[in-house]
Amino acid sequence: MNSVPEWVDATQQFQKSLSDSWHSAMQSFGGLAQGATPALPQVPHLTFSPEKLQALQQAYIKEVAQLWNGGLNGHAASGDRRFATEAWAANPVAGFSAAIYLLNARALLGLVEAAETDAKTKARLRFAVEQWMAASAPSNFMCLNAEAQKRAIETKGESIARGIQNLLKDIQQGHVSMTDESVFEVGHNVAMTEGAVVFENELFQLIEYKPSTGKVHEKPFLFVPPCINKFYILDLQPENSVVRYMVEQGHRTFMMSWRNPDDSLADKNWDDYVDGGAIEAIRVVQEITGAKQINALGFCVGGTILGTALAVLAARGEKPVASLTLLTSLLDFSQTGVLDVFIDESYVKFREMQMGRSGLLKGQELASTFSFLRPNDLVWNYVVGNYLKGETPPPFDLLYWNSDSTNLPGPMYAWYLRNTYFENNLIKPGHCTVAGKKVDLRKVDLPVYIYGSREDHIVPIGGAYGSTQVLPGKKRFVMGASGHIAGVINPPSKNKRSYWTNDKLPKTQEEWLKGAKEHPGSWWTDWSAWLKPHAGKLIAAPKNYGKGSKYKAIEPAPGRYVKAKA
């Protein structure tokens, strides 16, 4: 192949394979219901600059020649951690297969970048190729994985037997094991902070935690966690529990524990989660504590629900929340990162048709979607370890939580898709009607602490920053290191990572970062210092949970809702 026309011909096979992988990726995302097949968009016709193709061709031929002349030397693959062990370097055939694979991956991604098309189509092409290449890596196959072969020889085949056992177990449980799930039990060694359920309705339980200080701030604190995950990400182990930290800081702390929906909740919509969920929780906390105002935190989708709830309350002329904290949350959905590649009119209409009036989006489907956003780290890494090498992944509380999935009511999910990710209606004053009120975030006028994680692939840092331009009150924006979860769960005692601050709030996060100052350690201390003036004076800590016979302790924390499996 030594001419541009021949290289262009080669792109036809690329486009066909790309179409297949794109359709496969689309079917993976969002977890299509059994037997349902949407009208998937076709990969658009692509044009390529002859100059770019010629440059790609020349670079490809040069690298192939270097590999071949190197005598099947696979050390070119050693920079990728999938192929970095001595077993790969010592096996010329395996090393060469890895090197050729990486070369082809670079060539395919180069073709994507050379495609002359719109930005969203290019992002979709890139995502499809990345999924395809992650799945086709030689490390994923026993016949090519030198490390797995070496392990099989050393164990006299026991690793293969264990791998088969692991595969059968994972087929039975319905997902790839990321950790040794047998080690963990909710309420025993995760979600351990002492407390009691003091209220429940069909959507959530409200947990009140036992104070650990003689006095507490007069304004109680309410956590609104995401409903697409379970709340105990905020209360994993004692040493990394945000809940325990808040209790130790003298806050009378409450937590919403969303129910894991079953068929009885299949008709619930966004209004129900806002009015019967967040707003009801705020009201109950006020009644139990007698406080005119509370402080509240929303995490991820919980922040979107809470922000919507505060707009509804403002439209009613009510201001029950003194300060708001948003953790890795989106109110402005202009920047949604890789998730944007899936959202278009046909996909949203399909979901509305499928479950807009009733139905459930299964938790495992959501979990698979988020895992495939980082396929090498969260999918194929465990396929190789569990099945090819016969390993049992080590215990890790965060990954146990990640595997403990939750369902979503179809109508709620369909409304969320259209009005946030697709049409970005929440930031359009009066465009959305929720719980009978027009939503206008400009009326949510209160102090706000906004946190975003620098490497977040679910709520990109620019998207988290967007809330600073939407809410009118006095705001503080803080950026933490790491990703969506690891950046948030960063206790001061660990003395890990960094966070950045800047008192000025220009239009974009990029401008904000230019003037930001880095601080070593956890952002929790900065947040605690910010929250303290909004929490009110210290008063005697309550000796009992709840209030009187109306809000008495129903059961010990963490309650039964969080233990229900999807």
Give residue 43's pLDDT: 56
Identify whether 466 is part of a domain: yes
Give residue 30's pLDDT: 40
Identify whether 166 is part of a domain: no
> Are 109 and 222 members of one domain?
no
What would the pLDDT profile of 312-323 be if each residue is shown by its tens digit?
999 999 999 999
Tell me if 320 sits within 8 A of 246, measured CB to CB: no
Tell me if 276 sits within 8 A of 412, measured CB to CB: no
Give residue 522's pLDDT: 97
Q: What confidence category does residue 73 fall into, taking pLDDT thresholds of 50, 70 and 90?
A: low
> Are 150 and 98 members of one domain?
yes
Identify whether 169 is part of a domain: no
Give residue 32's pLDDT: 36
Q: What is the mean pLDDT of residues 16-33?
A: 45
Please say if the pLDDT value at position 419 is more than 80.
yes
Other Cβ atoms less than 10 A from the Cβ of 507: the count is: 11
| Average confidence score pLDDT of the chain | 90
Tell me if 339 sits within 8 A of 458, measured CB to CB: yes
Q: What confidence category does residue 21 fall into, taking pLDDT thresholds of 50, 70 and 90?
A: very low
> Are 115 and 201 members of one domain?
no
Give residue 153's pLDDT: 96
Considering the entire predicted model, what is its pTM? 0.89
Q: What is the mean pLDDT of residues 284-290?
A: 98
Q: What confidence category does residue 42 fall into, taking pLDDT thresholds of 50, 70 and 90?
A: low
Q: What is the mean pLDDT of residues 126-138?
A: 94
Identify whether 177 is part of a domain: no
> Are 325 and 226 members of one domain?
yes
Name the residue with higher pLDDT: 87 or 32. Answer: 87
Segment of 59-68, 360-369, 378-387 carrying the highest mean pLDDT: 378-387
Name the residue with higher pLDDT: 116 or 2. Answer: 116
> Are 203 and 146 members of one domain?
no
Q: What is the mean pLDDT of residues 267-285?
A: 98
Q: Which CATH number fits the domain that encloses residue 517? A: 3.40.50.1820
Give residue 9's pLDDT: 52
Give the end of a domain, one of 93, 126, 154: 154
> Are 64 and 113 members of one domain?
yes
Listed range (30-34, 103-107, 116-120, 393-397) with the worst mean pLDDT: 30-34
Identify whether 433 is part of a domain: yes
Identify whether 175 is part of a domain: no
Name the residue with higher pLDDT: 95 or 434. Answer: 434
Listed range (100-109, 452-461, 555-564) with the worst mean pLDDT: 100-109
User: Residue 109's domain spans which residues?
Assistant: 4-31+46-154
C-alpha to C-alpha distance for 145 and 139, rounded to whole angstroms: 5
Closest by CA to 414, choosing from 278, 303, 274, 269, is 269
Please say if the pLDDT value at position 482 is more than 60.
yes
Question: Which residues are CB-neighbours of 62 under 8 A, at least 6 positions away?
Answer: none
Cα-Cα-Cα-Cα dihedral of 232, 234, 238, 243, to 10°? -110
Q: What confidence category does residue 52 fall into, taking pLDDT thresholds of 50, 70 and 90?
A: confident
> Are 203 and 131 members of one domain?
no
Please say if the pLDDT value at position 111 is more than 80.
yes
Identify whether 551 is part of a domain: yes
> Are 66 and 121 members of one domain?
yes
Segment of 6-20, 64-78, 417-431 carrying the highest mean pLDDT: 417-431
> Are 136 and 199 members of one domain?
no
Specify the number of domains making up the chain.
Answer: 2
> Are 496 and 551 members of one domain?
yes
Please say if the pLDDT value at position 208 is more than 70.
yes
Give residue 95's pLDDT: 87
Give the end of a domain, one of 154, 183, 218: 154
Segment of 75-84, 108-117, 364-373, 422-431 carrying the highest mean pLDDT: 422-431
Q: What confidence category does residue 44 fall into, taking pLDDT thresholds of 50, 70 and 90?
A: low
What would the pLDDT profile of 441-463 be if each residue is shown by its tens digit?
999 999 999 999 999 999 999 99
Identify whether 471 is part of a domain: yes
Q: What confidence category does residue 368 fall into, taking pLDDT thresholds of 50, 70 and 90?
A: confident
Active-site positions read 300
Tell me if 523 sits within 8 A of 480, measured CB to CB: yes
Tell me if 87 sits within 8 A of 24, measured CB to CB: no
Listed range (82-96, 250-264, 266-280, 427-441) with the worst mean pLDDT: 82-96
Q: What is the mean pLDDT of residues 463-491?
A: 97
Give residue 160's pLDDT: 96
DSSP per-residue string spanning 161-188: HHHHHHHHHHHHHTS--SS-GGG--BTT
Please say if the pLDDT value at position 25 is more than 60.
no
Give residue 77's pLDDT: 55
Give the end of a domain, one of 104, 123, 154: 154
Closest by CA to 322, choosing from 398, 403, 219, is 219
Listed range (60-69, 80-89, 419-428, 521-530) with the worst mean pLDDT: 60-69
> Are 334 and 471 members of one domain?
yes
Write out the two tokens for 78.
Answer: 């050693």
C-alpha to C-alpha distance for 76 and 99, rounded to whole angstroms: 6
Give the CA angle between residues 280, 286, 287 to the nearest 5°: 90
Q: What is the mean pLDDT of residues 173-199?
A: 94
> Are 271 and 411 members of one domain?
yes
What would the pLDDT profile of 484-542 be if each residue is shown by its tens digit?
999 999 999 989 999 999 999 999 999 999 999 999 999 999 999 999 999 999 999 99
514 by Cβ neighbours in 10 Å (0-12 / 13-18 / 19+) ranks as exposed
